Amino acid sequence: MMVADAVVYAWRKIKRMPLWVLFQDTRSIFSKDELNSEIAKIAIPATFGLMADPIASLVDTAFIGHLGPVELAAVGVAIAVFNQASKIAIFPLVSVTTSFVAEEDSATSSSSILDDIELQPRSKSDNEKMLLLPKHENTNKRRHVSSASSALLIGAMLGLIQAFLLIVSAKPLLSYMGIKSDSPMLSPAYKYLTLRSLGAPAVLLSLAMQGVFRGFKDTKTPLYAIVMGGVVNIVLDPILIFVFKMRVTGAAIAHVCSQYLISVVLLWKLIEQVDLLPPNINDLQLGRFLKNGFLLLVRVIAATFCVTLAASLSARLGSTEMAAFQVCLQVWLAASLLTDGLAVAGQAILAGAFARQDYESAKETAGRVLQLSLALGLVLAFIVGVGLTFSSGLFTKDVKVLQILSLGIPVLVAFASVACLLLLSSYYGFVGIWVALSIFMSLRAIAGVWRIGTASGPWSFLNIY
């Protein structure tokens, strides 16, 4: 009896450990319960929306790859510079926007429900009068969400700053990435980077608006806008690249046009739902945005620096190796963003739960999202590894690029650490770079699990129950 009691006691202690969130209720991971339905409703459209830019870059890569390995490698370096510069601003902006909007909207919705109950008509005749009111007076009221206005203002400012800095420092950045003044990659890389930088304001602004819609748990509206932009990019690419013989210049112009179309559509839809002019400047909460965004900014800079360094080291190996790296990186980005859709769903649901102080729901949501992410990651590792083997020819016909490309497949879905990159690339070249990327991603996963297990940082709510 004492042994049984000890086992029960130990089991209860284990279930109270923060790390148990990874294993709780695993039988429901693929069930059709309410939580999974809510996650899927947000995550699936968000996934396709997040994949839009990498897919657009894949489209550019596929068309440019047929111009030759030099152009493919040059655009690869330019895209690496642009993407890493964008991520430094994008991730903090979108993440903070999603959380703040979800929190504010949840609090506002709760207050509105209470007001509706207090003002509910008491007589049948009053109810009938309410039904006869014009629809826009009853249900089409625009939201007053000050954090949405803050996000758009910050996004527009960051986009303009990013465009200016990238255009002014294009050649020094490309030189840092390994493209010297005598390299045949310099001219096409410079053209592509400077032209694509003109789309930075549209990219930052559209992603800020996507963060607002995610905060409303609406990921379908951004998806519609992104699909429209993607179609425009796919249609313009072959016309500008081959018909008008604009080569990499045409690819950059097509991409920029698609980004501005996405921004216009999102702004149009957002104006229909949100009053973007706050009552006064104090409602913008700019200080709160900058404070929370800075903490994420430090983390993003550390992570993106590793990927940028990997691209730089690949460029130094030569145009053939850089062309292969570009294909591997873009395929990896498109595939890895499938799991980011789950992150968007988790963030939106958790923000609402915290606003209601419903920590039990927050704990359940966190566990389910982590379990689904692990399962999806294992599936993607297999699909990408096998799929790229048979689809490499879509991106290039160069035999040397294809030979090197095949070496990156086994370790395609990973990141990098600086020390491993520098060491392994020196001895093992292209394969060493991707092995180092795998090591870094593993270290990030270990660090994440450790924070869950110790209930530190954002996981401190696991100690509440």
In the prediction, which pLDDT does 398 show? Answer: 57
In the prediction, which pLDDT does 165 show? Answer: 94
Residues of the chain with pLDDT under 70: 1-22, 51-54, 57, 108-141, 278-284, 286, 295, 299, 302-303, 307, 321, 326, 330-338, 384-441, 443-453, 455-465
CA separation for the pair 418, 304 (Å, rounded): 11
In the prediction, which pLDDT does 51 show? Answer: 67
In the prediction, which pLDDT does 343 show? Answer: 81
Most distant pair of Cα atoms in the chain: their distance: 84
Alpha helices in 274-398 (DSSP H): 286-317, 319-355, 359-391
In the prediction, which pLDDT does 317 show? Answer: 73
The one-character DSSP state at 246 is -
Q: Tokens representing 74?
A: 């040059």
CA separation for the pair 45, 5 (Å, rounded): 48
C-alpha distances (whole Å) from 277 to each of 60, 145, 255, 281, 313 are 38, 9, 30, 9, 47
C-alpha distances (whole Å) from 352 to each of 67, 87, 290, 348, 358 are 49, 25, 21, 7, 9
Could you tell me which residues come within 8 angstroms of residue 63 by beta carbon, excluding any fewer than 6 positions away?
237, 238, 241, 242, 251
In the prediction, which pLDDT does 394 show? Answer: 55
CA separation for the pair 311, 317 (Å, rounded): 10
CA separation for the pair 214, 89 (Å, rounded): 17
CA separation for the pair 177, 277 (Å, rounded): 42
- Name the residue type at position 91: F
What is the distance of C-alpha 273 from the center of its chain? 24
CA separation for the pair 202, 208 (Å, rounded): 10
DSSP 366-394: HHHHHHHHHHHHHHHHHHHHHHHHHHGGG
CA separation for the pair 293, 150 (Å, rounded): 12
What are residue 21's DSSP bridge partners?
none
Q: What is the pLDDT of residues 415-429, one digit of tens each?
A: 334 455 555 555 556
CA separation for the pair 411, 436 (Å, rounded): 9
